[in-house]
Amino acid sequence: MINKVKGILNILSSLLILLGIILLVPISVVFIYKEPISSYYTFLVPSLISFAFGGMFYFTTKNSKTEITLTTSMIICALAWIVISIIGAIPFMINLNKGFIDSFFEAVSGFTTTGITVFEGLDYMDLSIIFWRALIQWVGGLGILTFFLFVTFSGEGDIWQLFSAEGHKINSSRPVPNVFQTVKILWLIYGSLTLTETILLMIAGMSFYDALTHSMTSLSTGGFSRYDASIAYFKEAGYNYRAIEYIITLFMLFGGMNFLIHYKVIFDTPKYLVKDLETKKYFKIILSFTALMLISMIMAGTNIFADFEMYFRTTIFQVVSVITTTGFGTQDIGSAFFTSLAKQLFIVLMIVGGCVGSTSGGIKVIRITILSKLFRREIRKIRMPSRAVAPVLVEQTPISDNEIYRISGLFFGWLLIIVIGSGITALFSDLDAFQSISGMASAMGNIGPFYFSVEKMSTLSPVIKLTYIFGMLAGRLEILPLMVLFNRKAWLK
C-alpha cells in the first residue's frame, strides 16, 4: 500500500506543478488592468504553495511508480479534483476575505463547471479574481485531458486508464489511435471554438474582457458570469443583447455536444450531426422541451405571439443553458415568466444533461436513451417466448449486459445522492421540498440554477454546503471515483 500511495503522489506532483503554472496566468490581468499590488499575492501565494507541494511530492517519490489500473486511476482522479479545488480556493480567501468552506465551495463549483456561486457583488470584484473564476471553469471543462497530457511520462496502456477514469468527458473511442494526438485535437477544437465565440461576442458589442470570460464559461458549460444578473446584464446595460444571447446559446449548444462529433464534422463530414443517435436525441429534447414550455405559456393565458421572438429566445436560451448544465440566465427559472410545467421540465433537464464526451454534466442523453430502450425491451419481453433473445440496440449495435448494469447502477446512485442531499438540505434549512430537491439536483448535475436565491445559498448551513460540494464532485466524476477513493479495500489492492 505504501508503494501505491507513493506512486499516486508521484503522479499528483505533476498536476500540482501544472496548477502552479495556471495560477500565474491571472497575474497578467492584474498587470493589464493596473490592480493593486496586493492582487499579485492573490495568485502568487497559492502558486508557490502548489509548486512547493508538487516539488516535495516529486522529489520524495520520483523513484516510486505504480501500475495505473482502473482502480488506481479513479483514486488519482478523485484526489486530483479535491486537491485542485483546495488550492484553487486560496485566491478567494486572500482576495475576497472569504472563509475556507465558501472559498472551497466556489472553487469546486468552478473546476467541476457547476456554476453555483455563494458570492454576491460580482460586478464590483477585481477583474483578476473574476478571470480566475472563468479560467478554472475553462480548465475544468476538459480538465482531465490537461491532467492526462501532463502525466503521460508513463506507458500508453497505463495512461489510457487515467484518460477514461472520468468517463463522461470522453467515451472509449478516439479520433486517432495515438492518445497524445487525441488530446491535441480535442484541445485545438476547444480552443478554436472559444476564440471564435470571443470574436463573435466582440462583434456583438462586448468588450474583449467580457467576451473572453463569457466564452470560456459558456463553451465549458460552466456558467460563471462577471455580473450578478448573469447574461441578463447585457439587456439591462443597453447592449445588443439579442445577438449576444443567440451567440451564447449556440456555443452552449456546442459545449453540450460530444467533442468527437465536432472532430468528425470538421475533419470528415457534416452528416454526423444528423447521423449520430445521441446528437439527434439531444436536439430533439431541446426543441420538444422548448415547444412544451411555449405551449404551456399559451395554455396559462400568456399571449406569446405579441412578442414571439422574445418568448422563443428566452425559453430556448434557458432550455439550452439547463440541459448543457451551463447555468447562464436571462430569466430566473423560478420566476413567474415560466409556468409550473416548465419548472418541472427544468428539473428533468438538470438530471438528463448533455452528451457523453461533452463538457456538460448530468447523466447524459445516451444513457437516458439506453434506459428508455431497456424499459421498452422489458415490455416487449412480456409477449415473447421465455427463451427469446432481445438485446438492447443502439444504432443496430447490441449494448452489453455489463454496460446496462453500469448505467442502471449509475442512475440509481444519482437518484440516491439527490434524495439524501435533498433531505439534508430540508433538515438543515427552511427551504421547502421543491427548493431542496432543486438545490441538490443542481449540484449533482453540475448546472448552477435552482429555485431559491443566491443570497439564500450564501447563508445556508456549512453542512449543506459540504453536501453540495460532495454532490458537485460526484456529478463531475460520475460517482464511482469518489466511492473508490473512500473504499479501504481499493487502497490495499
pLDDT of residue 64: 66
Looking at per-residue confidence, does 241 or 378 come out higher? 241
- 76-129 pLDDT, tens per residue? 888 888 999 999 999 999 999 999 999 999 999 999 999 899 998 999 999 999
- 368-409 pLDDT, tens per residue? 999 998 888 888 888 877 777 778 887 778 888 888 888 888
**Per mean pLDDT, which range of 147-151, 274-278, 319-323 is the poorest?**
147-151
- Count of alpha carbons within 13 angstroms of residue 49, beta-carbon side: 15
pLDDT of residue 154: 44
Looking at per-residue confidence, does 420 or 448 come out higher? 420
pLDDT of residue 18: 86
Residue 397 bridge partners (DSSP): 394
pLDDT of residue 151: 46
Mean pLDDT of 187-194: 90
Mean pLDDT of 197-208: 97
pLDDT of residue 266: 82
pLDDT of residue 383: 80
pLDDT exceeds cutoff 80 at 4 = no
The candidate with the shortest Cα–Cα distance to 436, out of 419, 454, 413, is 419
pLDDT of residue 302: 92
Q: How far is CA 133 from CA 138, 217, 367, in A?
A: 9, 9, 30
pLDDT exceeds cutoff 50 at 153 = no
pLDDT of residue 173: 54
The candidate with the shortest Cα–Cα distance to 155, out of 163, 143, 146, is 163
Mean pLDDT of 173-186: 65
pLDDT of residue 357: 81
pLDDT exceeds cutoff 90 at 166 = no
Looking at per-residue confidence, does 425 or 268 come out higher? 425
pLDDT exceeds cutoff 80 at 169 = no
pLDDT of residue 168: 44
pLDDT exceeds cutoff 60 at 156 = no
pLDDT exceeds cutoff 80 at 269 = no
pLDDT of residue 164: 55
Find all residues with CB under 8 Å of 47, minimum gap 6, and list them.
20, 21, 23, 24
Residue 397 phi/psi, 5° resolution? -110, 125
Mean pLDDT of 179-188: 74
pLDDT of residue 378: 84
Q: Does residue 106 contact residue 118 with C-beta atoms inside 8 Å?
A: yes
When the pLDDT of each residue in the chain is averaged and rounded to a whole number, the result is 86
Q: Does the pTM of the predicted model rise above 0.95?
A: no
pLDDT of residue 150: 43
The candidate with the shortest Cα–Cα distance to 120, out of 230, 237, 228, 232, is 228
pLDDT exceeds cutoff 90 at 324 = yes
pLDDT of residue 337: 94
Looking at per-residue confidence, does 159 or 366 come out higher? 366
Q: What is the band of 143 on the pLDDT scale with cuts at 50, 70, 90?
A: low
Sign of CA dihedral 212, 82, 362, 224: negative
Mean pLDDT of 282-309: 95
pLDDT exceeds cutoff 90 at 483 = no
- 314-323 pLDDT, tens per residue? 999 999 999 9
pLDDT of residue 406: 85
Q: Per-residue DSSP letters for 340-408?
A: HHHHHHHHHHHHH-S-TTSS--SS-HHHHHHHHHHHHHHHHHHTS-TT-----EETTEEPPHHHHHHHH
